[in-house]
Amino acid sequence: MEQIGARLRAIRQEWGLTLREVEERSAHLAEEWGNPSYRISASWLDRIEREYRGLSAAKLIVLAAVYSVPPDQLLAVYSRGSGDPPQLGHLSSPNTTLLLSKGPLEQHARLWLPDSIAIEPIPDETTLLSPESHLPSYYRRGIIGRLDKTLDPMVRPGSIVLINTQRRAVAHRREWKNEFDRPIYFVLTHAGYCCGWCELDKSTEWLTLVPHSLSYAAGQRWRYRKEVEVIGRVAVVLLRLEEPQPAT
């Protein structure tokens, strides 16, 4: 038991989590899974880490979910219980910056940021990608084309964006404070897709695509809802920082 106690303490410290934070995350899981026995108290975990007392496979499953560690790594030292473990749909996140290794969190990151993104060529035009089954239906992905330099260098060509198609209303100036929280929109015009900041005039007749101050791109303007359609608001940007490297 000493080995598993020390291992659990080392993982918690690596994640920068306090005992109380682990308790709070386990309480969320217990509620999500509909079983209060999955809740782990801070005092109990402290005893496990220091005194190496026994713990059940169910508690190990909860800790595996909290720490994003493959359950079999922790369950290997125990015999399996008779009950079926809950599905690990919940993903925890560390307080500290980590270099990911094998585990649910790494698999999740690979889903969002596949290895192929480093070698795939950048298209010339900004493109809306096909819907993906693992995403909610209102989310779509897009890729910023090589010729779309509207927000370059903040959002560079080749970057992948996740678009929330439920948020299509153009934000008023009072809704953001600086360029980093200013909403970015993915829009469709007669010439194709583009991505950038948007402004509406007072009469909401014209929509202007606003370039970054360091970009050489010119601003563009269209008749709102007649010549341009707002596909949605960008929720996530996977920023490309270097040119694709050919596979070796």
Last residue of a domain, one of 109, 124, 155: 109
The predicted pLDDT at position 149 comes to 94
What average pLDDT does the segment 155-175 reach?
Answer: 92
- Nearest-angstrom CA–CA distance, 169 and 176: 14
Same domain, 127 and 209: yes
Phi, psi of 28 (to 5 degrees): -65, -40
DSSP assignment letter at 233: E
Same domain, 120 and 224: yes
What average pLDDT does the segment 83-93 reach?
Answer: 50
182 lies in some domain:
yes
Please give the mean pLDDT across all residues of the chain: 82
What average pLDDT does the segment 159-183 reach?
Answer: 92
First-residue to last-residue Cα distance in the chain: 45
What's the structural domain count of the chain?
Answer: 2
The predicted pLDDT at position 49 comes to 86
Query: Do residues 200 and 207 lie in contact, with contact meaning Cβ atoms separated by under 8 Å?
Result: yes
Supply 245's token pair.
Answer: 């490297």
More confident residue, 88 or 112: 112
Q: What is the pLDDT of residues 7-22, one digit of tens each?
A: 888 888 888 889 999 9
Same domain, 174 and 231: yes
Sign of the dihedral through C-alpha 19, 24, 28, 33: positive
Phi, psi of 229 (to 5 degrees): -125, 130
**CA distances (Å), 5 to each of 77, 80, 142, in order?**
12, 19, 45
Q: Angle 229-235-236 (CA atoms, 0-180°, nearest 5)?
A: 120
Same domain, 45 and 131: no
What average pLDDT does the segment 134-150 reach?
Answer: 87
Share of the chain above pLDDT 90, in %: 41
Lowest mean pLDDT among 33-37, 97-101, 238-242: 97-101
127 lies in some domain:
yes
The domain of 123 spans 115-238
CATH number for the domain including 131? Answer: 2.10.109.10
Same domain, 135 and 73: no
Same domain, 126 and 218: yes
